[in-house]
Amino acid sequence: MASVLNQPYFQDEDAAYVKLESVVWPNGATCPHCGGADRMKKMGGTATRPGLYKCYACRKQSRVTVGTVFESSHVKLHVWLQAMYLMCSSKKGISSNQLAGTLGVTVKTGWFMSHRLREAMTSGVGLPPMGGEGAVVEIDETFIGQKKDMPKQRGYAHKHAVLTLVERGKGSRSFHVDGTAAADLLPIIKANVDPKTQIMTDEAGQYASLKKSFAAHDFVRHGVGEYGRGAVHTNTVEGFYSVFKRGMKGVYQHCSEKHLYRYVTEFDFRYNNRVKVGVDDAQRTVNALRGIVGKRLTYRSPISAQ
């Protein structure tokens, strides 16, 4: 069987632009400057850059990468597509060091590429609430890493807190939160879950009032060794965390507080586009490419933050 990475758009720059145009411009080329589509013409000639178009309405030249996470990058587009595929097909992620070694770029470039691609995986704001009548959403929190300038101590006060909502049979949403008190968690839960939903949690006190806001609230008592009573369990969200923690500890190893939300988003994206919901590696990559528009990153960050 031939390697997936032998596909033309992973090896050839012209083919890479054709592939990206088919994803970003499914109805034909559109000018990123004026929004026009009727007078866009692809430019030819041996000296012309791959994928270059001219809009004869506003008289400006552009490529499909303008206004995306790929804009103004010195990395070839077909290498970007390889990076996207590697990140989307690696269940627990791929480190900047490994990405750089595989693609033949510097570690600094690999770090910046991976963060741009994580930004493309973000789903944005204004998402509809999870759940609904007859649906079940499991909720739990976990702790990862260590806060800057805070020594290790008993408990979890020195660690970063992550809240995750998982709708059974569907997707997840995770949030880097300041803490795990009710005041930190309940506003997020109420803003992201439909009131008609049945909620499942553990016995933590911060969830005690959820029954007032949702159709039902059941919980398991982990403190006495209970992990499920029929349909009452949090095994789905705990399964999500098992992959998340293996990736964060085994692959990424260190993550600064500033960038934690992007890593969380990356694991959410792969979970929401997993094989069990009918999405294979190739389609997951295409889905990620659909999110590149309007998310350009321009800052330079230290490699120590990887």
Q: Give the residue from 29, 87, 93, 36 showing the smallest Cα distance to 59.
A: 36
Phi-psi region of 220 (alpha: psi -120 to 50; beta: other; left: phi over 0): beta
pLDDT band for position 145 (50/70/90)? Answer: confident
Residue 304: its pLDDT value, please? 33
Tokens read off for 158: 């020195």
In the chain, which ranges are continuous DSSP H helix? 8-11, 13-24, 77-89, 96-103, 107-121, 182-192, 235-247, 260-272, 281-289
Over 50: is that where the pLDDT of 303 sits? no
Q: What is the DSSP string of 11-37?
A: H-HHHHHHHHHHHH-TTS---TTT---
Domains delineated in the chain = 136-255 (3.30.420.10)
3-state helix vs strand vs coil in the chain, percent to 5? 40, 15, 45
Residue 259 phi, psi dihedral angles, 5° rounding? -110, 0
Contacts of 272 (CB under 8 A, 6+ apart): 170, 171, 172
CA distance 237 to 75: 37
CA distance 238 to 165: 11
pLDDT band for position 299 (50/70/90)? Answer: low
**Which helix or strand (DSSP H or E) is residue 105 part of?**
none
pTM score, two decimals?
Answer: 0.91
Residues 188-235: pLDDT tens digits? Answer: 999 999 999 999 999 999 999 999 999 999 999 998 999 899 999 999
Residues 52-78: pLDDT tens digits? Answer: 999 999 999 999 999 999 999 999 999
Average pLDDT, the chain: 92
User: Can you tell me the mean pLDDT for 290-303?
Assistant: 70
Residue 255: its pLDDT value, please? 84
Over 70: is that where the pLDDT of 292 sits? yes
